[in-house]
Structure 1
Amino acid sequence: MKLANLSKAGGFAAATALLLTACGASNTGGGEAGSGEEAGAPEGGDSSAWGDCTPGATSADATELDPAGGDLTIGAFTGWDESYATAHLLKAVLEEDGYSVTIDSYEAGPGYTGLAEGDIDLLTDTWLPLTHADYIEQFGDDIEAQGCWYDNAVLTFAVNEDSPAQSIADLPDLADEYGNRIVGIEPGAGLTQITQEEVIPTYGLEDYEFITSSTPAMLAELDSAVESGENILVTLWRPHWAYDAWPVRDLEDPEGALGETEVIWNFSRGGFTEDDPYAAQLLNNLVLDDDQLASLQNLMMSDEHYGGEDHDAAVAEWLEDNPEYADQLRAGELG
């Protein structure tokens, strides 16, 4: 397969540095659509409670509501592929319902500022309870939670699926199988820091050479190894379309050295639920599992497909391949 164009992924991985001290997620959210606790948002000031959300817990049938129509702006975080996947997926469905949707790219700080000030209507890529907790603390009074859509955001060590290791704990005895190499990404990425400071000493992997350069370089090595039938060990994360593009699987992390999972939430500007109950409910209905998200991102980002050049066309093709998804989204049947 052709190497995918993932120049944005290094920025995504760097943002995961906060996962170094990540809290676990029990994923037991609930509630009605809307803001605050009505959208399954936690009560009180404990940021770890944001991890207690089950995707689809705030779902309901949006077809009973009237779309407000008009113009909507969705913010997507530069370098975060799942931002563009969810933003363009919602754009396709909302435009079928009579809206005109614009997607603008932002770094996280300006994105939350724009949302709080009402310049952006929606953000679909808030990682909680840790990565974006500071922004929720800063802007939480001016924005509305609109449910969570994914609960498996985590850093990983991954291998080709037919290789022998099942756990990171197996690796000290299997170094020869992987050429004594861990293939990493950008030197400044949070995942790289965690690998160096936590995973290698925790599991005694000092005999491995830890190679860092870039996410595209890591994916090139992964592609080459799979094509040649060689074993490979890489640092990776979910959600990522590599899981759809290549036969790879995650290693177990019994010591929790890579940190635990986070949940990805939707947020809207303040007052959005009152202004447009239909679109707000559509956000609460959004759910994507690993296979769905990986296949959508692969179609959007891989050079084998659209190579990051035409997100709307990629989403249109994905919806053709998944013909029930849009109707299930509107009906609140994905959770």
Structure 2
Amino acid sequence: MKKILVSSFTALLLLMVVGCSSESNGEENTDSENSEGEQTITLGVTPWTSTVPPTKVARILLEDMGYTVEETQADAGSVFVGLSRGDIDVFMDSWLPVHQVYLDKYSNDINDTAVSYADADAGLVVPTYMEDINSISDLKGKEDSFKNNLYGIEEGASVTEVIDEAIEGYGLDMKQVNSSEGGMMAEAMRKMQSEDPVVFYGWRPHTMFNKFDLKILEDDEGFFDKSSVHVITNNNLEENAPDAYEFLSNWSIPIDDVENMIVQIEEEGMDPEEVAQNWIDNNEDKVNEMLGK
């Protein structure tokens, strides 16, 4: 009986050793797969129509490279906080010089990686039927016709501070009314339908310039510069995913193409990923250049 017990205990011990060895090997294989084929890259996505096309194009190409890609929705300020903490890896739609304040604040943790496109117009906008308003200074003395309201995007966007500075700098008796991009445009559209006076923040690329007759007001005081749109990454990406970083450092896309994709998504109701894939399929040379092929 004693021999039987010893033999059983020995067999059980061997099974445990083999089982632990197999489990350990399985864990190693899983870790290897994650590091080689399932590494996650997180893209920050602001609530702007201009963010969607480049984000979707980048996502598809990164997934083709073998990465798992996630998107985090947030306002611009929160996206930069996420980049600085390493919670977000990439932001495809940083507007400079407006976002320079974030680049300066988090300079030790983030990297200005590439210029997506340059010469993006932005500023205060009115409909063209307002023939006597062609510059921001023309608003002076006419504020009451606008009910003293100037419509802007969400408060978390750094441009809201620039707009407030412009209101003060031009001595306008107006207040900025902030909401989402969609909320701002809904209010502007409501007023334009009846050709009422309205002034709001506008930029390219955006469907507003395709859908309505608008003009960006001249800014003699220089509050609103032409913008260039940049790709921002956190400082860990180059080391953790060097091929992804190299691809993003080669990134560029024409502003007209971005605007056309916005129209397809917002006006024609096409699926954003389908629109992005169509752009990739129709721009093979450009894509290969970015991928270093």
TM-score range, shorter chain: 0.5 to 0.7
In the aligned structure 1, how far is the partner of 2:50 from the partner of 2:82? 15
Partner of 1:138: 108
In the aligned structure 1, how far is the partner of 2:64 from the partner of 2:148? 49
Partner of 1:221: 187
For the pair shown, the structure with the greater C-alpha radius of gyration is: 2
SS at match of 1:272: helix
Cα 1:289/1:253, change in 2 over 3 Å: farther
C-alpha distance after superposition, 1:213-243 (max 9, x if no partner): 5234431122224444555321334554533
CA contact under 8 A between 1:181 and 1:233: conserved in structure 2?
Answer: no
CA contact under 8 A between 1:184 and 1:218: conserved in structure 2?
Answer: yes
CA contact under 8 A between 1:241 and 1:294: conserved in structure 2?
Answer: yes
CA contact under 8 A between 2:113 and 2:248: conserved in structure 1?
Answer: yes
The more displaced of 315-324 and 158-167 is 315-324
Shift in Å, 1:88: 1.8
Partner of 1:108: 79
Gaps of 5+ in 1: 1-67, 307-312
Using the size of structure 1 for normalisation, the TM-score is 0.57
Shift in Å, 1:253: 0.7
- Alignment partner of 2:136 out of 168, 190, 193: 168
Task: Trace 1:292-307 onto structure 2 (pairs within 5 A).
Answer: 292-300=257-265, 302=266, 305=269
Shift in Å, 1:74: 2.6
Task: Trace 1:146-165 onto structure 2 (pairs within 5 A).
Answer: 146-152=113-119, 156-164=123-131, 165=133
Cα 1:230/1:80, change in 2 over 3 Å: closer
Gaps of 5+ in 2: 1-35
Match for 1:156: what amino acid? G
Using the size of structure 2 for normalisation, the TM-score is 0.64
Partner of 1:23: none
- Alignment partner of 1:255 out of 218, 221, 232: 221
- Alignment partner of 2:282 out of 297, 301, 324: 324
RMSD value, Cα:
4.0
Select the structure that is richer in helix: 2
CA contact under 8 A between 1:73 and 1:104: conserved in structure 2?
Answer: no
Shift in Å, 1:128: 5.0
Greater relative contact order structure (CA < 8 Å, 6+ sep): 1
Shift in Å, 1:315: 3.1
Partner of 1:284: 249
Cα 1:252/1:105, change in 2 over 3 Å: same
CA contact under 8 A between 1:168 and 1:251: conserved in structure 2?
Answer: yes
CA contact under 8 A between 2:114 and 2:232: conserved in structure 1?
Answer: yes
Match for 1:266: what amino acid? I
In the aligned structure 2, how far is the partner of 1:327 from the partner of 1:105? 31
C-alpha distance after superposition, 1:194-229 (max 9, x if no partner): 434x323433433xx546252344311222244445
